[in-house]
Amino acid sequence: MNKPKKVAILTAGGLAPCLNSAIGSLIERYTEIDPSIEIICYRSGYKGLLLGDFYTVTPEIREKAGLLHRFGGSVIGNSRVKLTNIKDCIKRGLVQEGQDPQKVAADQLVKDGVDILHTIGGDDTNTAAADLAAFLASNNYGLTVIGLPKTVDNDVFPIKQSLGAWTAAEQGAKYFWNVVAENNSNPRMLIVHEVMGRSCGWLTAATAVEYRKLLDRAEWLPELGLGRDTYEVHGVFIPEMAIDLAAEAARLRKVMDEVDCVNIFVSEGAGVEAIVAEMQAKGQEVPRDAFGHVKLDAVNPGKWFGEQFAQMIGAEKTLIQKSGYFARASAANVEDIRLIKSCADLAVECAFKRESGVIGHDDDQGFILRAIEFPRIKGGKPFNIDSPWFDKTLAEIGQTKGAKVETSH
């Protein structure tokens, strides 16, 4: 064992319902083992690391670190900074012309006296951490980087379950429970529930399952129009499954005629290729972020699906609702906190061993919880549409499963 003298924590990328809990769990575990180990938290992710901007974790903070489990978001702040995107780092004023952001980050860690860097983020965060870890190793900096996998999409290879995804599904279901009652406001209402998931439909499918559990627990009064059929999920559309728009429209039109409303769940990444092709054909610019990803809020897949279906199913009104920000900014639920704490405990153990990697249950090694080697970490892990629970959901709502589609990240 090689006790670290100083530990740094940062969170990066989009929010997920695990960030504050992960920060709190790391602080609690280090304090339990040895409160003399110094802890700092870089503000706004890699931005704070490049600028040397951080919080110092004081004894008072350690004493109240458990409070973080009650709150969503990240108290130390996030940002989308890719250390290998030199032009973007210069443009944002994070480094100067001629500087290598990885070297700036590495030198800042040395300047701050950091032995261990904990990164909490999704695939972009952890691939950035992998690049940084490789840079540190190849240049003999003697620092260890240990990642925790955060993403509501649950799409990181080879990790079975990413932190925060369970909570996001639960919260998305709660969100739609209120939204669905809007079908009372207008005859022949189409409600599109857009769920986060760039290239992975896991969250959309899981949210539909969690929502239908709420329906299972509810009592109904169909004699006065309060029937489950008007609250039901009538369609689930995800990137990994082909969509026959005409056939689905015909099926959903029958639903509309029978129950006077249609409710569909759509992944924000579903149909993106078709939308981008339409934009490019019209000569429109496709907005992208620093990682080269299409900005999904700009292309608006939920609106596109609403427009495709509305006329075909005879909807008089279409309502597009997005649960993403509601779900991803939630505090972690009990199930996620249990997972977060187990991952944080192992992360601290790995810090004493100077073992780099991303903590998670390894799909390729019997789902053992371990420090997974950085080179094996990548995003874009597709949802398995042949999962029995997904087959069961489609069968129960009367939707024919489409062919499997290869997704790109």
Known active-site residue 362: no
Question: Is 123 marked as binding a ligand?
Answer: yes
Question: Is 268 marked as binding a ligand?
Answer: yes
Q: Which of 88, 115, 153, 155 is catalytic?
A: 153
Question: Contact 82/102 with Cβ under 8 angstroms?
Answer: no
Question: Is 196 marked as binding a ligand?
Answer: yes
Question: Is 151 marked as binding a ligand?
Answer: yes
In our burial notation (b when 16+ CB lie closer than 10 A, e otherwise), range 91-105 reads eeebbeeeeebbebb
Question: Contact 197/234 with Cβ under 8 angstroms?
Answer: no
Alpha carbon 400 to chain centroid, angstroms: 27
Question: Is 153 marked as binding a ligand?
Answer: yes
Measured CA distances, 374 to 4, 123, 255 (Å): 21, 10, 48
Question: Is 115 marked as binding a ligand?
Answer: no
Residue 85 region by backbone torsions, left for phi larger than 0, else alpha for psi between -120 and 50, else beta = beta
Question: Is 152 marked as binding a ligand?
Answer: yes
Question: Is 257 marked as binding a ligand?
Answer: no
Structure tokens at 180: 């669905």
Q: How far apart are CA 159 and CA 377, in angstroms?
A: 8
Question: Is 198 marked as binding a ligand?
Answer: yes
Structure tokens at 385: 């549409």
Question: Is 197 marked as binding a ligand?
Answer: yes
Question: Is 233 marked as binding a ligand?
Answer: no
Element (H, E) at 149: strand 144-149
Binding residues for Mg(2+): 123
Binding residues for diphosphate: 14
Binding residues: 14, 123, 151-153, 196-198, 268, 325-328
Just list the catalytic residues.
Answer: 153
Binding residues for substrate: 151-153, 196-198, 268, 325-328
